[in-house]
Chains A and B, each alone.
Chain A
Amino acid sequence: MNDDELMTAVREPLADVHLTTPLDEITRRGKTLRNRRRLRGVTGVTAVAGAIAVAAALLVPGGTSTPPPWTVTKVSDDTIKVTINDLKDPEGLEQELRADGIPARVEFGVTRPPRKLNPHSRAVEIWVGKHPVPLLPSTCHQLPGEVLHNPGSGWPMLYTIRTSDFPKGTGLFIGAAEAIEHGHTGVAAMASRVVATPKCLGS
């Protein structure tokens, strides 16, 4: 079997596979995603605008002041700011960072005290103790160099990321998890430069 015959043998059995989703359904969903992105952008662009919007939301019946789980805003040509308000939609944040040219993997989780999570798990692993410590998955190789984050802990978590810190072959891992101990809830998080391998970043 030569190469052409082999390619045909692989392609042909799939000839009857068709994507039947109507175009209108695709564009409707796309419009929703676009609006959501715009909303995120507006929320994160200026604190003043955000404050006005929140104030307005409180005054207008039926309005909501719930912030989006995270925002990605461009600070300059080389710098973006990631604000995490809630550990939700990690896949969306991954997509957003990838769209900005940073191969990224984002893992949000919840620890289950008082023991360590399975070491083979690809999810964020955290020892719950006095100071919960998030670890990189074993499939990721950490690189030197810091990703700037807001000092201390608590919400929201802010990361300032320079795209020039991520040349070809490097990527970003963000992991965060809620940790519950003796009835108190905290959050532990890390952002790290890593070698961009499929096993680490999943693509």
Chain B
Amino acid sequence: VRHDRTDFAAFYTESRDDCLRAALVRPTDLDKAQELVAEAYARAWARWRKVSQHPAPRAWVVRTALNAHTSWWRRRRREVPASDHEPATAVLTGGEPAGPVDPAIMAALQRLPARQREVVALRIFLDLDTAHTAEVLGIAPGTVTAHLARAMAALREELAPLGRQETRP
């Protein structure tokens, strides 16, 4: 157990910031994201023998946090009286400011479709290669490449004007 804990402690220290940044691709506030990622790490520790054998344990944590996020949204929806229900799409486009993070970047990330956000989280923030990303998401490597290309195109379109504004005299 002590050996396991040493392994887990090293994993936690080395990966926690990247996992939190990756989890911020979904609409949330920073406090909630911290809570979700911490819970995902706790779940990882609860089944560390299994998670440590995962092809990319960091990706396991991020996906668990993103799934928990979905559940959290659903739970919030249930708290709304039936007469006040809104179409599901309203929830997906909702969300609160992400705290001290550049709102333009966050808005651009959060406007991406869910699968593209997952690919961005794993490829850009966790620096996973295409093969590992495909394995973790259970999709073909070519699909990962396609999702990333579409996401990059969308981000470029949204962020390029910002870059131009900043470089203006």
Q: Which residues of A contact B (CB under 8 A)?
A: 1, 3, 6-7, 9-11, 13-14, 16-21, 23, 25-27, 29-31, 33-34, 37, 90-91, 94-95, 98-99, 107, 109, 112, 117-118, 120-123, 139, 168, 198-199, 202-203
Contact = CB atoms under 8 A, between A and B. Distances in A.
A120 B86 contact: yes
Contacts of B125: 11, 14
Contact of B77 (A13, A90, A122, A198): A122
B19 A19 contact: yes
Q: What is the interface of chain B mostly: helix, strand, loop, or mixed? A: helix
| 8 tightest Cβ-Cβ pairs between the two chains A and B | A30-B45, A91-B71, A29-B42, A202-B70, A118-B85, A33-B46, A13-B102, A19-B16
Interface residues of B, number: 58
Interface of B: 5, 8-9, 12-13, 16-17, 19-21, 24, 30, 34, 37-39, 41-48, 50, 63-64, 66-68, 70-71, 74-75, 77-78, 82, 85-88, 100-102, 105, 109, 114-115, 120, 124-125, 138, 152, 155-156, 159-160, 163
B37 A94 contact: no
B41 A20 contact: no
A168 B24 CA distance: 27
Contacts of A91: 68, 71, 74-75
Contacts of B155: 6, 10
A22 B21 CA distance: 17
B19 to A, nearest CB: 7
Contacts of A34: 45-47
Given A6-B152, A123-B78, 11 more contacts: A10-B105, A10-B120, A11-B125, A17-B20, A18-B16, A18-B17, A27-B42, A33-B46, A37-B47, A120-B88, A121-B77
A16 B50 CA distance: 31
Contact of B17 (A17, A118, A121, A122): A17
A9 B109 CA distance: 12
A14 B24 contact: yes
B83 to A, nearest CB: 8
Given A6-B152, A17-B17, A198 B85 contact: no
Contacts of B100: 16-17
A184 to B, nearest CB: 20
